[in-house]
Amino acid sequence: MLQPVPESIADAIGRFDLPSMPQVLSRLLDLSDSESVSSAELADVVRLDPALSVHVLVAANHSFRALDGQLKTIDRCVGTLGPRLVRTMMACLAIRGVFDRSDGERSLDLTGYWIHSLRVAELARAIAIELGREDGEEAYLAGLLHDVGQLLLLGGLNGRYGALLAWSRDEEALLALERPELGTDHAAVGAWLIDRWRLPSFVADAVLFHHCQPTEIVAADTLSRIVWTAHIAVGWPLATEGAAASGFEHGAAETMLGLPGGRLAELRDRAIVRVGELAAGLGVDVATSAGTLPHVSRLPFENAGPPEHRAANERIETVVRDMAVMAPLRHSLSEIRDDTEVLQAVREAARILFGLGYPAFLLARDDQTMLTGADVGGQPPLLAALALPLAARSLAATVALGEEARATFNASPAADASLTDLQIARALGSAGVLYLPMKVGSRVVGVMAFGISEAQFVRCEKQLAWMASFARLAASSLEQGRGMRDRERQQEAELTSRFEQRARQVAHEAGNPLSIITNYLKIVSDRMPRSAGVHHELDILKEEIDRVAKIIRRLGEKSPKTHDEGEADVNAIIEGMAALYRESLFTTRGITLDLILNEQLPAIPGSRDQIKQILLNLWKNASEAVPSGGRLVVSTAHGLRQGGRDHVEIRLADTGPGLPTEVIQNIFQPLDPGRRPGHAGVGLSIVAALVKGLDGQITFQSRAGQGTTFVILLPKSERSAP
């Protein structure tokens, strides 16, 4: 029943050629032209096409940015890749499709196949939701891809598989032809594809089992039974057509998942209507579709003219292809400055355009003496540890220093291929390796390496010049991004230097009036009798002016200290600040300031000034947010152990309206200063930086209408008594 994929078939379909529904790809290209398009908008279109979905799944699950574990939904995959990389991939798919059509004069109609796949996907998701399962999107994906093996066989075997499709009236007839002719079938090929690219395994099982007999599928996992049921049910006549489905498979589908009588037919009818609406939105007429298989025909073509004309035409086509491919790629890559993003985009473009799998990269060091894969993510461990001198004897070094693409299969002289090249081939899991030089002028950027078989090399030998052009574009993009970063660093250094110079001037100019104010406060204090009762407040005011003077002086320091030496009494700091700010920040606004201070609070290492700055920023925010009649409670506690250390806690809880959504989303990050005139928008970011400088932690809770609480944990001084 279940056939393995023969090696000859696996080799033929290894180019990963999956044709897409033109209307879907066209819509996606239109969306990609917009700089404001969101990942969600792109995902909504990608999920309408089996081929596009596979490409996005593969790319996301092999992305440098992929998280641990599999990405099983199109939304998460597109979100991981980002609109820019998806745009590059779609451009490559469109270009490859155009040239594939010109290569074989093949006319391909995917309408019936596409409608059938979408119907199964929509129904599978509806069934999963009806059963109360949380994997509705995974069920949709499995339904969408259940016949993807047909696309893969059509792309790899072309006319040979096209003939099988032409001789088949439906999928059962196709299966009967596939197994004796190919030694496998499209269900096994689809599962092979999903397994090869390490996509969700239960999806592979659902694809593999969708043609099983009812007596077999009943023992399978739930996802496989859902897809099997959806596949059977979409073939039933609509209730509006007046005919009823019958037969053993119909009865099995009705009872397979324990759905109430008639419920499956209702879900199926809704799915068909939904697909009709989606198709109409893309300009596809469902009524004209016949069957569920791809339809292939050959266009009449006479390759007239002498051989030299054909050779010239082939050369013209090569040049035009280079121009067509490189222009959109150059535009897409020019927008990227980060090396990792450039290499990710190049990897995906190469996989799509050349059908040889993902390339590896060995990049040259700045001194142009060594090739290494250490700075490239997502590569085999051997390549990450490899350091290959450019002066050493190896095909990789020869290609890096030269201008031509070469493979271990055509190394001439044969001595050019070394044991290092054999190691690289083994690391890539292949019999040989194809190297493409990555150069900009005479500067070596590196080499692009594809693990290939000899049969793959024969297939791609005619396009080596094109592939070499692609590698030069990749090298140019890397160098361009590095140049832009160097210029930005230089500009940043110049701006920093100018800022430091101006800051020193400001510190000098501000120091004089602050000194005058300090001296005047001393004169006032000396003239007032001790019985006046304001000397304590004057001392606090002088201390605050001294703190401002220190802050200004630090502006002019190139490497200011993160905090002063010594210890700080948090309770004393809070009490002193309350004496100075209670009236101006709270009482005049009708806000109550309550202090609940633990008398046994130990000292903490650090600067009094930094703690004051933290509290003052939070107090000012609270005084501006809390309405009249509200309250701010400041409390301290100790004995909290975290990370193996004892901490002091400072808690500030207000009864205000809660933080705005835009503040919560960017908490502790600088906000737009235009959000509220007169406010710089950096208070909480300063607080977070100061707490971090004290080796502490800050957290918050905020609910609309219920207030906001900030909790600060600062490590206790080791000299403090336990």
In a domain, 429, yes or no: yes
When divided into structural domains, the chain yields a total of 5
Q: Is the pLDDT of residue 536 over 80?
A: no
Residue 485 identity: R
Confidence grade of residue 335 (pLDDT, cut at 50, 70, 90): low
Domain final residue, candidates 104, 138, 158: 104
In a domain, 306, yes or no: no
Q: Are residues 500 and 601 in the same domain?
A: no
Give the three-state DSSP class for 71.
coil
Domain final residue, candidates 555, 578, 593: 555
In a domain, 45, yes or no: yes
In a domain, 722, yes or no: no
Whole-angstrom Cα distance, residue 463 to residue 256?
A: 51
In a domain, 262, yes or no: yes
The per-residue pLDDT for 682 is 56
Q: Are residues 472 and 607 in the same domain?
A: no
Q: Are residues 217 and 133 in the same domain?
A: yes
Query: Do the bridges between strand 295-298 and strand 432-440 make them parallel or antiparallel, or are there none, so unpaired?
Result: unpaired
The per-residue pLDDT for 525 is 75
Q: Are residues 90 and 179 in the same domain?
A: no
Task: Report, as an integer, the average pLDDT of 93-118.
Answer: 73
In a domain, 323, yes or no: no
In a domain, 315, yes or no: no
Whole-angstrom Cα distance, residue 92 to residue 62?
A: 18
pLDDT digits (tens, 9 = 90+) for 238-280: 544 444 444 555 667 777 888 877 889 899 999 999 999 999 9
| Cβ atoms of residues 342 and 336 within 8 Å | yes
CATH number (domain holding residue 454): 3.30.450.40
Q: Is the pLDDT of residue 1 over 50?
A: no
pLDDT digits (tens, 9 = 90+) for 679-696: 444 568 888 888 988 889
Q: Are residues 518 and 402 in the same domain?
A: no
Q: Are residues 571 and 497 in the same domain?
A: no
Q: Are residues 261 and 141 in the same domain?
A: yes
Q: Are residues 469 and 524 in the same domain?
A: no
Confidence grade of residue 285 (pLDDT, cut at 50, 70, 90): confident
The per-residue pLDDT for 685 is 81
Whole-angstrom Cα distance, residue 134 to residue 83?
A: 27
In a domain, 318, yes or no: no
Please list the residues that pair with 108 across neighbouring strands. 296
Q: Are residues 174 and 282 in the same domain?
A: yes
Q: What is the 3-state secondary structure (H, E, C) of 18-66?
A: CCCCHHHHHHHHHHHCCCCCCHHHHHHHHCCCHHHHHHHHHHHHCCCCC
Q: Are residues 115 and 223 in the same domain?
A: yes
Domain final residue, candidates 555, 587, 605: 555
Q: Are residues 377 and 397 in the same domain?
A: yes
Instruction: For residue 684, give its domain range.
Output: 567-715
The per-residue pLDDT for 241 is 44
Q: Are residues 428 and 479 in the same domain?
A: yes
Q: Is the pLDDT of residue 608 over 80?
A: yes
